[in-house]
Amino acid sequence: MKLALGCVQFGMPYGVANAAGKVSEKETREILSAAHYAGVDTLDTASSYGDSESNLGEFGIKDWKVITKLRPILPECHKIADWVITEIHGSCRRLKVDAVEGVLIHHLPDLFSKKGLSLVEGLQKAQTNGLTKRIGVSIYSPEDLDRVASLFWPEIVQAPFNILDRRLLDSGWATKLEEAGSQIHIRSVFLQGLLLMNPADRPEKFKKFDAVWKMLDAFCAKQDKTSLQFCLQYALSHAEFQRVVVGVASKGQLLQLLEAAGEKIHTDFDPEIEIPQGLIDPRCWNNF
């Protein structure tokens, strides 16, 4: 199953559209049970996602593939490679597992700092010790990958990708990673839920992108698809990607995604208008 479950919502309030806050423990268990029953085998979490890891550990996720991420290095920390091992042991303890499928660098400035090579050394040591099967990075922009690759070759890259944000393909990095046998896990398929919001519910600050919303609505109508079907099937239809990480706030949302995931669609969708960079990067959303 290409769908993977994003787990930030299980540890803290998350999402531009999320009025409900953190997903309850009861709902989290229902989502995980339904996902497992449907064949979803991969969970995306991080040590900086509140108590997401320990909630997953309480549920029991031994037979899942878990991707977790390192929190930013603490300024007072100097023995970086040892710190990495300690951090991964901490994640495994909270997750109640002996090892994980992958550990990603979550805070790229750490990798690009003078502590970067020790960070990589720690990850490689953790891999040699069998604490993690793969090591990699989580990025916000494909441009970051040029510098990453100059320091180490990531076996997993998690990156944003959706109908408005095709930088991973357009940059040529998806092909380079695929040719090198690296796994690509994409996220932000719904732009934190923004692409699925009813126009009336969309926060005021996104109204200025009406041309984009009109284009999307027109395209969905032409394909006779809902925005959820279109966004999800568009992401799933790219063979370059091994996992599509989606976030849900309820079992109902998950069941809708599983139903929508079934069909294939043409991926030759070409936005007729320029997509503002500020719209596709949630880090910019507080700037407007």
Ligand X SMILES: NC(=O)c1ccc[n+]([C@@H]2O[C@H](COP(=O)([O-])OP(=O)(O)OC[C@H]3O[C@@H](n4cnc5c(N)ncnc54)[C@H](OP(=O)(O)O)[C@@H]3O)[C@@H](O)[C@H]2O)c1
Binding stretches for ligand X (CB under 6 A) = 6-9, 15, 17-18, 44, 106, 138, 158, 187-193, 196, 228, 245-249, 253, 256-257
Which residue, 189 or 216, is less far from ligand X as judged by CB? Answer: 189
Which residue, 22 or 115, is less far from ligand X as judged by CB? Answer: 22
Q: What is the DSSP letter of 287?
A: G
Q: How far is the CB of 37 from ligand X (least distance, A)?
A: 17
Tell me the residue nearest to ligand X as measured from the CB: 6
Which residue, 82 or 240, is less far from ligand X as judged by CB? Answer: 240
Q: How far is the CB of 78 from ligand X (least distance, A)?
A: 26
Which residue, 190 or 241, is less far from ligand X as judged by CB? Answer: 190
Pick from 102, 118, 109: nearest CA to 66: 102
Which residue, 44 or 144, is less far from ligand X as judged by CB? Answer: 44
CB neighbour list of residue 53: distance below 8 Å, 6 or more residues apart = 11, 45, 46, 47, 68, 91, 94, 95
Q: How far is the CB of 135 from ligand X (least distance, A)?
A: 15
- Give the 3-state DSSP-derived string for 230-264, with helices as H, strands as E and coil as C: HHHHHHHCCCCCCEEEECCCCHHHHHHHHHHCCCC
C-alpha 45/C-alpha 67 separation (Å) is: 6
Q: How far is the CB of 71 from ligand X (least distance, A)?
A: 12
C-alpha 196/C-alpha 9 separation (Å) is: 17
Q: How far is the CB of 244 from ligand X (least distance, A)?
A: 9
Rg (CA), the chain: 19
